[in-house]
Amino acid sequence: MTTLPASTRNKLGLVIDLDTCVGCHACVISCKGWNTENYGAPLADMDAYGAAPEGTFLNRVHTFEITRDNAPPMVVHFPKSCLHCEDAPCVTVCPTGASYKRAEDGIVLVSETDCIGCGLCAWACPYGAREMDGAERVMKKCTLCVDRIYNENLPAEDREPACVRTCPAGARHFGDLGDPQSDVSRLVAERGGVDLMPEQGTRPVNKYLPPRARDALEAPDLASLCDPSGDQATGFLGWLDRALERL
């Protein structure tokens, strides 16, 4: 089985703001595009318009409606990809060493030439963040766009994961979560960032910023706005009468 590094020099990862994400799926599309055209083997789409379509995505967005007592309902869009865990069970369960965690930056990757498609890593991952490519029969996962973040041929502003660069709402942030003074670490501290499923003990590097509480708006009495009773119309009809009188 594969061993994890005792420590990593940096802890590169994502901070995702659930309060800001609008569920547009731009991160899903940009991730699919970049990783199909550049890193590794293309992400397959099979029988896309048939009875049993199958596609490989490294990032997905799930949408939930949340209702709580004495609070207005709210919709939360929840992006999910590999969390690059410090204690990554997908790595330690791999029989060939294809899954590994880099000591220099903490990114968890898959060597596609060594992967035998056994699926053990997908079984071990508690987050469902790995996908078997139906065409290549190898495991695929988020790479944090390693071919972008270190690519000096790209402009400095493009040296971040495609999903972060594309997000129109600014809900995704990238940086070194091992540095308490980094922008992402400060953001986590200020907003109370949390781990996904901390009870699993995987110590994910990626963090989520919880959605803020929504303001409760008092709904107006719409019937009273259109009440025509009485000598003098009030509400909306009263305003309309006065406006028409001026014509």
* The predicted structure's pLDDT at residue 19: 94
- C-alpha count within 13 angstroms, C-beta hemisphere, residue 227: 11
The answer to whether residues 155 and 45 belong to one domain is yes
The answer to whether residues 56 and 87 belong to one domain is yes
Query: Rounded distance, CA 54 to CA 135, Å?
Result: 10
**131-136-138-143 Cα dihedral, nearest 10 degrees:** -60
pLDDT in tens, 17-28: 999 999 999 999
| The most confident of 32-41, 161-170, 220-229, by mean pLDDT | 161-170
Per the structure, the count of domains in the chain is 2
pLDDT in tens, 81-111: 999 999 999 999 999 999 999 999 999 999 9
State the chain's mean pLDDT as an integer.
89
Q: Which residue has the higher pLDDT, 170 or 38?
A: 170
Sign of CA dihedral 27, 177, 145, 136: negative
Q: Does 35 map to a domain?
A: yes
Q: Quick check: 1 pLDDT over 70?
A: no
**Model's pTM, two decimal places?**
0.82
The answer to whether residues 190 and 129 belong to one domain is yes
Q: Six-digit token pair at 239?
A: 């305003």
Query: Rounded distance, CA 83 to CA 90, Å?
Result: 11
The answer to whether residues 57 and 85 belong to one domain is yes
Query: Rounded distance, CA 171 to CA 206, Å?
Result: 13
Domain holding 127, by residue range, is 12-209
The answer to whether residues 194 and 112 belong to one domain is yes
What radius of gyration do the chain's Cα atoms show? 24
The answer to whether residues 94 and 130 belong to one domain is yes
Q: Does 16 map to a domain?
A: yes
Q: Does 5 map to a domain?
A: no
